[in-house]
A = this chain, B = another copy of it.
Amino acid sequence: MEEVKGVVKHVLLARFKEDIKTFRGTDVSVENMHQGFTHVFESTFESVEGIAEYVAHPAHVEFANEFLPTLEKVIVIDYKPTVLRA
């Protein structure tokens, strides 16, 4: 198993509050294990430090302050992807 060098994935699962219109990327899963999450946002960064910098950036803070209150629930997880099968 080979770790993809210098890459960290940043995954956000979201469920919007009912009065917020969803705008794209809706769940299409067939297993009924999504636990109510409706949206996924995925970004790829060069390093964990890059994510920390992004998260702390004033533009992101301003966006997050508007975005997070629209969510009923949210999970954010970052990981360094390891290739199982290319």
Residues on A lying within 8 angstroms of B by beta carbon are 1, 8-11, 13, 24-31, 33-35, 37, 39-40, 42, 48, 51-52, 55, 74-82
Contact = CB atoms under 8 A, between A and B. Distances in A.
Contacts of A74: 33
Number of copies of chain A assembled together: 2
16 contacts: A9-B40, A11-B40, A13-B13, A25-B79, A25-B80, A25-B82, A28-B78, A28-B79, A28-B80, A30-B55, A33-B74, A34-B75, A34-B77, A37-B77, A40-B81, A42-B81
Contact of A52 (B27, B30, B48): B30
9 tightest Cβ-Cβ pairs between the two chains A and B? A33-B76, A29-B78, A34-B77, A40-B79, A30-B52, A35-B75, A28-B78, A25-B79, A31-B76
